[in-house]
Amino acid sequence: MGYSVIDYQIVQDHIAVVTLSRPESLNALNRQMFIELGLVFSEIERDNRIKAVILTGSGSKAFSAGADVSELQRLSAVEARNFALAAYRTQDQICSLPVPTIAALNGYALGGGCELAMCCDLRLASENARLGQPEINLGIIPGGGGTQRLARLVGVSRAKELIFTGKIIPARVAYEWGLVNRVVPLEELMETAIKLAGEIATKSRPVLALAKSAIDRGSDMDLTPALHYEIECFAGCFATEDHHEGIRAFLEKRVPRYTDR
């Protein structure tokens, strides 16, 4: 399928790379971008070969500087709601993809860009990356999950500090706060992301999906139902062919050969 504001590639058989591609506006997120992200993530979901997805931005300056401010400028309250709902649907597709996702933050990840990064399972940042929710400086608040996902990742206090001040933090601070998993030089970012994706891709696809579901759905529950949900996911592993292979390979002292069934 042809895309105009994103780029899509499959590298090393099992790894998909989706690139936000509007470098002239620091990969600002417009309606078309959300439409194409929805389409590409549907394509990825249907492709059983893919075992890890990397989401990054074009150029060396930004992952995404947020929602396209020139589009926001024209919105009525009703249209703003529809825009945020459309973004929510795409984000929900990304969050519930049964395959691990890695955001490779190659520069600014601001506003909707930071919100999109927080929809991924893991975040790697280049040393020049800067993260924040500066919407307050435009007279608005985050509308793409920033008030919720940021607070869950860094705690309510730090989320409030970022959202109330619009302050942008460097990658190092984002790492100290637990907002990104790792910080690497820009030149090594994609190599590191592909290496991590490759490591994940050696595991069983259905078992990765069960691990992701146990963590994500469980973290939206109280502890007791979450622990019961984990038990269901654990039991689900025993319905896969791959768990036989994993256990057999361990006992035979060899590397498992998963078939993703």
Ligand X SMILES: CCCCC/C=C/C(=O)SCCNC(=O)CCNC(=O)[C@H](O)C(C)(C)COP(=O)(O)OP(=O)(O)OC[C@H]1O[C@@H](n2cnc3c(N)ncnc32)[C@H](O)[C@@H]1OP(=O)(O)O
| Residue 1: CB minimum distance to ligand X, A | 22
Give the list of residues 6+ apart from residue 30 with CB closer than 8 angstroms, or none.
Answer: 5, 22, 67, 68, 71
> What amino acid is encoded at 106 in this protein?
N
Separation of first and last alpha carbons in the chain: 27
For residue 65 the two structure tokens come to: 């500087």
Catalytic residue flag (residue 115): yes
Residue 87, interface with ligand X (CB under 6 A)?
yes
| Residue 87: CB minimum distance to ligand X, A | 3
| Residue 208: CB minimum distance to ligand X, A | 26
Which residue of the set 24, 79, 115, 230 is catalytic? 115
For residue 222 the two structure tokens come to: 């109280």
Catalytic residue flag (residue 135): yes
Residue 100, interface with ligand X (CB under 6 A)?
no
Residue 136, interface with ligand X (CB under 6 A)?
no
Kind of pairing between the strands at 130-132 and 168-170: antiparallel
Which residue of the set 71, 79, 135, 245 is catalytic? 135
Among 25, 32, 42, 96, binds ligand X (CB under 6 A): 25
Residue 115, interface with ligand X (CB under 6 A)?
yes
DSSP 188-219: GHHHHHHHHHHHHHTS-HHHHHHHHHHHHHHH
| Residue 30: CB minimum distance to ligand X, A | 8
Distance (Å, whole) CA 191 – CA 234: 32
Return the residues of window 42-81 that contact ligand X according to CB under 6 A: 65-70
Residue 110, interface with ligand X (CB under 6 A)?
yes
Phi-psi region of 178 (alpha: psi -120 to 50; beta: other; left: phi over 0): left
Where in the sequence numbering do the catalytic residues fall? Answer: 115, 135
Name the residues that contact ligand X, by CB under 6 A: 25-26, 28-29, 65-70, 84, 87, 108, 110-112, 115, 134-135, 138, 143-144
